[in-house]
A and B are shown apart, each in its own frame.
Chain A
Amino acid sequence: MKFLVTKDLAHSTLLTYLMSAVVFAILLYIGLDVILHAYIIGLDRSSIEATLFGDEVNFIEPILLDTLLLQVHIDLFMTLFAILILASIYIRLYANKTMTKWIVHLLFIFGMLAPVILILAYFIGPSLSMIWLITFMIWHFLALFVAMMILKKLLFK
């Protein structure tokens, strides 16, 4: 992360291009991650509950704990790296804005809560399934916003 802080690279066009490219890649990742979770877990109440708790009417078995936990394990890792890169660049570009601190806090909190709530929902019950969906969508929209703000500053300054 040192390269993001040092002033020696403040006016490097190469760094601008590199940061834009990595943010663009993360932007695509965020979009595809939503689609991936729509396939694996579902993005509406009935499909989330059918995945987590099964559906007797349609003969759907609930997801296995180890399959769900593996997804949560992978999600935590991927979310950490995506948010760490986004937050580092965002702080570099918007350090003087008061909102920066709160946006970074919210991004990390919701990014962490989503997988944790998903595994809790499996044990506690359907009441948490919508909370998972809300936290999941909030961190994705926040990451989308941060990525767009970074690209705006880098490409249209």
Chain B
Amino acid sequence: MAFFGIVCCYDDLKETSLQMKNLALYAIPIGYMLIYVVLILASGLWLFLLSQGLDSSEGVLHTIESIMHRPKPKSLHNFIEVAAPHLFAIGTLIFVVAHFMLFSTNIPQKVSRLVSMWVFMLALLNIVSYLAISFGLLVSGWIKLVAMSGFVLLFLVLLGMVAFSL
């Protein structure tokens, strides 16, 4: 009986050591995931600015100014074409990034929950905000700019939290 206990204990130890090795290796995909997400956010921002008239002759600040005063008109068809894939993709991306906080021992779960829920809410606001402009409820594009910058900044905070927990 004692021998069986020792064998089981040895098996558990071997298994635990393998799991620890696995966990150390899992830091590699998680680390690269953070870089990929930054690139996805950057290309998304660039795409949005291009759709609002950014080109070589006009700088980023001028484009932001024009979004504030007269955002480009967008039909319901255009809105849904952009919103549908983004609702799925951003939701999945936040979930995948935020679920790594479950393993964090450096940051309390309460903070992780608060930040991830705010990222989700800002993402939703960012996606639907153009609807207010399309339907003429708002003339200015400030709501889109606020929602987008809030979402990007808080997502970067979440990425920083995952990086800190690695």
Asked if A91 is an interface residue, CB under 8 A from chain B, the answer is yes
Complex Cα distance, B117 from A87, in Å, reads 28
Given A69-B50, A104-B25, are A2 and B102 neighbors across the interface (CB < 8 Å)? yes
Asked if B46 is an interface residue, CB under 8 A from chain A, the answer is yes
A101's contact among B28, B32, B96, by CB below 8 Å, is which? Answer: B28
Name A58-110 residues within 8 Å CB distance of B.
65-66, 69-70, 72-73, 76-77, 79-81, 83-84, 87-88, 91-92, 95-96, 100-101, 104-105, 108-109
Q: Which 8 A-B pairs have the closest CB atoms?
A: A108-B32, A73-B43, A80-B36, A87-B29, A91-B25, A66-B50, A95-B22, A76-B40
Asked if B65 is an interface residue, CB under 8 A from chain A, the answer is no
Complex Cα distance, B15 from A80, in Å, reads 29
A104's contact among B15, B29, B102, B103, by CB below 8 Å, is which? Answer: B29
Chain B residues near A104 (CB-CB < 8 A): 25, 28-29
Asked if B165 is an interface residue, CB under 8 A from chain A, the answer is no
Complex Cα distance, B35 from A115, in Å, reads 13
30 of the cross-chain contacts (CB-CB < 8 Å) are: A1-B26, A10-B15, A66-B47, A66-B50, A66-B51, A69-B50, A73-B43, A81-B92, A81-B96, A83-B29, A83-B32, A84-B29, A87-B28, A88-B26, A88-B29, A91-B25, A92-B22, A95-B18, A96-B18, A100-B25, A101-B25, A104-B25, A104-B29, A105-B28, A108-B29, A109-B32, A112-B36, A112-B39, A115-B39, A119-B43
Asked if B146 is an interface residue, CB under 8 A from chain A, the answer is no
Chain B residues near A81 (CB-CB < 8 A): 92, 96
Binding site for A on B (CB under 8 A): 15, 18-19, 21-23, 25-26, 28-29, 32-33, 35-37, 39-40, 43-44, 46-47, 50-51, 89, 92-93, 96, 99-100, 102-103
- Chain A's interface size range is 20 to 34
A102 and chain B: residue at smallest CB distance? B28
| B37–A96 touching, CB < 8 Å | no
Q: Given contacts A2-B102, A73-B47, A108-B29, could you give 5 more A-B pairs where the C-beta distance is less than 8 Å?
A: A69-B50, A73-B44, A77-B40, A108-B28, A108-B32
